[in-house]
C-alpha cells in the first residue's frame, strides 16, 4: 500500500510574513503608480501682454508767459483837453468875470455897429459896403474869431447886465432882453461843470450866430454857434466852462448842452 503524502503548501499559504511583504510591495507599487500617473494640473496660460500703442510724444508746453500788461490807451491827438490850444483873448478876462458857486454867471453885452460885422460870414450883412472893417478882420475874410471882440468890451457902456443862470441859454426877439437889440446882442457865460464819469463828451450847441466854447482855458470850438465840435475825452473832475456868444439877427437864440457819448477809449 502506498504511503499517503500530504500536499505541500505554497509559500504564500505557509508564511504570513511573506504575505505581508507582498501586500506591502503591492501597496508601494500602487502608490508609485499613482504618483507617476496622477493627472497634472494644467496651469492657466499666462495673461497675454499686449503692448499699448505708443502715445505720441507729449508736446512740450512753452514756458509760462508773464501776464500780459494792460494796453496803455492813448487818446488820439486832438481828442484830449490838453491837446487843444489855449484860448486867446478870453472875454471873461476883459470883463473880470467871477466864477459862481453854482450855475453860470451870465454877462449880457451890446456889440452894436452892425456895419462892422463880418459881411462874408454873416449873410444878414451882405448889404454892407466893402470898406467896412473891424479891428480884427477885413470884410470878405472867410472865418472870423470871437477872440478879436475882447477889446470891444473894454469900451464903456458895452456891458449891459449880469445875472446868475442855471443853464447856458438865451432866446428873445428884438429888444425884449434888457433893451438890447437882438442883432446887437452878445453874452459871456462862466461857471463850473462836474464830470462824474470819464468818457467822450459831446457839446450840443443850438442856435445861430457865432460862439466860442472854452473849457479850462482850452479852445474847444470857435465858429458858427450851431456847429458841434468833435467829441472830447474828459476825465472825472471839475472843469471851468466859458461860452462866448455873438448874435447878428433880430432873434437871439442859443443854447448849449453836454452829454456823455461813449466811455470806450480809442487806442
110 neighbors 185 (Cβ within 8 angstroms): yes
Q: Give the cell for residue 74.
A: 492813448
pLDDT of residue 5: 58
Q: Could you read off the pLDDT of 47-102 as tens digits, one per residue? A: 444 444 555 556 666 667 766 554 443 334 558 899 999 999 999 999 999 999 99
Q: Could you read off the pLDDT of 143-200 as tens digits, one per residue? A: 567 898 899 899 888 899 999 999 999 999 887 788 888 888 999 999 999 999 999 9
DSSP 8-class letter at 86? B
- Examine the pLDDT at 44 and tell me if it is beyond 80: no
- For the chain, domains (ranges, CATH) are 81-262 (2.60.120.1560)
DSSP 8-class letter at 123? G
pLDDT of residue 41: 55
Question: How many other CB atoms sit within 10 Å of the CB of residue 237?
Answer: 11
pLDDT of residue 133: 41
pLDDT of residue 122: 47
Q: Give the cell for residue 248.
A: 447878428
**Bigger pLDDT: 259 vs 142:** 259
Whether the model pTM is above 0.85:
no
117 neighbors 134 (Cβ within 8 angstroms): yes
DSSP 8-class letter at 153? G
- Examine the pLDDT at 134 and tell me if it is beyond 90: no
- The rounded distance, in Å, linking the Cα atoms of 160 and 179 is 9
Q: What percent of the chain has pLDDT over 70?
A: 67
User: Mean per-residue pLDDT for 209-214?
Assistant: 94
pLDDT of residue 237: 95
Amino acid at each position: 500500500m502506498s504511503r499517503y503524502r500530504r500536499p505541500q503548501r505554497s509559500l504564500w499559504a505557509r508564511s504570513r510574513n511573506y504575505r505581508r511583504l507582498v501586500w506591502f510591495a503591492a501597496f508601494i507599487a500602487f502608490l508609485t503608480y499613482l504618483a507617476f500617473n496622477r493627472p497634472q494640473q494644467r496651469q492657466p496660460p499666462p495673461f497675454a501682454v499686449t503692448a499699448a500703442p505708443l502715445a505720441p510724444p507729449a508736446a512740450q508746453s512753452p514756458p509760462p508767459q508773464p501776464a500780459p500788461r494792460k494796453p496803455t490807451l492813448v487818446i488820439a491827438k486832438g481828442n484830449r483837453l490838453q491837446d487843444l490850444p489855449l484860448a486867446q483873448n478870453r472875454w471873461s478876462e476883459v470883463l473880470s468875470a467871477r466864477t459862481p458857486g453854482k450855475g453860470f454867471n451870465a454877462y449880457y453885452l451890446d456889440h452894436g455897429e452892425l456895419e462892422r460885422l463880418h459881411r462874408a460870414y454873416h449873410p444878414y450883412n451882405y448889404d454892407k459896403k466893402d470898406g467896412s472893417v473891424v479891428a480884427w478882420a477885413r470884410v470878405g475874410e472867410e472865418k472870423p474869431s470871437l477872440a478879436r471882440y475882447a477889446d470891444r468890451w473894454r469900451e464903456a457902456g458895452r456891458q449891459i447886465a449880469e445875472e446868475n443862470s442855471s443853464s447856458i441859454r438865451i432866446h428873445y426877439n428884438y429888444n425884449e432882453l434888457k433893451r438890447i437889440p437882438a442883432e446887437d446882442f452878445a453874452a459871456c457865460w462862466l461857471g463850473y461843470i462836474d464830470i462824474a464819469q470819464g468818457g467822450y463828451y459831446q457839446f450840443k450847441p443850438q442856435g445861430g450866430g457865432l460862439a466860442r466854447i472854452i473849457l479850462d482855458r482850452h479852445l474847444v470850438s470857435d465858429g458858427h454857434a450851431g456847429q458841434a465840435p468833435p467829441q472830447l475825452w474828459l476825465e472825472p473832475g471839475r472843469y471851468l466852462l466859458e461860452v462866448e456868444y455873438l448874435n447878428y439877427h433880430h432873434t437871439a437864440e442859443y443854447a448849449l448842452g453836454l452829454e456823455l457819448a461813449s466811455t470806450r477809449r480809442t487806442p
